[in-house]
């Protein structure tokens, strides 16, 4: 099975712009989670989607949003970019929602905000 | 709320020597614990997981971890380290979302 794929792998944006990141989960997986990784804050949970519905949300401002499509692919959007949004954004997929589920990660999208 | 702590920020080990990475968790119920590894510029790769049952779990790349409820620990071990094991290692607990430790960077010297 192909793993989790994320596009694009690298992005450079300027402050105030918006960005959309894409994630394709492992075939058959219906849950997609997003995480932000920065040197200062480490790995932080953004949100989880299951069956096209947001099930859990982390402590991030409303500028961070996401959605999931009927084929389980997911996108996250960040509006009005700030310098502090520079990070590695990781997507993870699992078969179902739940604490016993194993999450498999993609390679990430590295976002640089100038 | 659940949390994990990785007390060691950086560990240096000689190639061929044994490695142990510490992880302590805080959680009221049965924890679902994971170890992931991240090479520079890469995503996270699952090494192993603990859900229940046998407290010694085997993973990929020769890694194993031992769950000790009495010590709230889930330490990762490898008997003989290879240069390719140089990476950052993350312990995580799953309660409908993964909460990660700060990570331990492993340097392998020849």
Helix (H, G, I), strand (E, B) or coil at A26: coil
- Chain A nearest-CA distance from B99, in A, is 7
Q: Does B43 touch chain A (CB under 8 A)?
A: yes
Beta strands at B56-58 and B64-68: parallel, antiparallel or unpaired = antiparallel
- Chain B nearest-CA distance from A33, in A, is 8
CA–CA gap between residue B65 and residue B63 (Å, rounded): 7
pLDDT in tens, A5-54: 999 999 999 999 999 999 999 999 999 999 999 999 999 999 999 999 99
Residue B1's pLDDT is what? Answer: 78
Contact state of A102 with B49 under an 8 Å Cβ cutoff: yes
**Cβ atoms of residues B6 and B97 within 8 Å:** no
Pick the residue from chain B with its C-alpha nearest to A100.
B32
Pick the residue from chain A with its C-alpha nearest to B95.
A99
List, in sequence order, every residue forming a beta bridge with A73; answer none if it has no partner.
none
**Overall residue count recorded for chain A in this entry:** 114
pLDDT in tens, B51-104: 988 899 999 999 999 999 999 999 999 999 999 999 999 999 998 899 999 999
CA–CA gap between residue A1 and residue A108 (Å, rounded): 18
């Amino acid at each position: 099975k192909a793993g989790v794929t994320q596009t694009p792998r690298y992005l450079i944006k300027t402050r105030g712009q918006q960005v959309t990141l894409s994630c394709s989960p492992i075939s058959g997986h219906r849950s997609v989670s997003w995480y932000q990784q920065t040197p200062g804050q480490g790995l932080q949970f953004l949100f989880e989607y299951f069956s096209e519905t947001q099930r859990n949300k982390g402590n991030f401002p409303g500028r961070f949003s996401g959605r999931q499509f009927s084929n389980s692919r997911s996108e996250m959007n960040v509006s009005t970019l700030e310098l502090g949004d520079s990070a590695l954004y990781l997507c993870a997929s699992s078969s179902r929602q739940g604490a016993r589920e194993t999450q498999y990660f993609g390679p990430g999208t590295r976002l640089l905000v100038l | 709320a659940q949390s994990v702590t990785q007390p060691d920020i950086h560990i240096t080990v000689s190639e061929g020597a044994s490695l142990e990475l510490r992880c302590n968790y805080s959680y009221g119920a049965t924890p679902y614990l994971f170890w992931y590894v991240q090479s520079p510029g890469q995503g996270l790769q699952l090494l192993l997981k603990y859900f229940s049952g046998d407290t010694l779990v085997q993973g990929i790349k020769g890694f194993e971890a031992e769950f000790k409820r009495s010590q709230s620990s889930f330490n990762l071990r490898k008997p003989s380290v290879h240069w390719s094991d140089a990476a950052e290692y993350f312990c995580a607990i799953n309660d409908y979302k993964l909460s990660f430790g700060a990570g331990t960077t492993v340097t392998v010297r020849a």
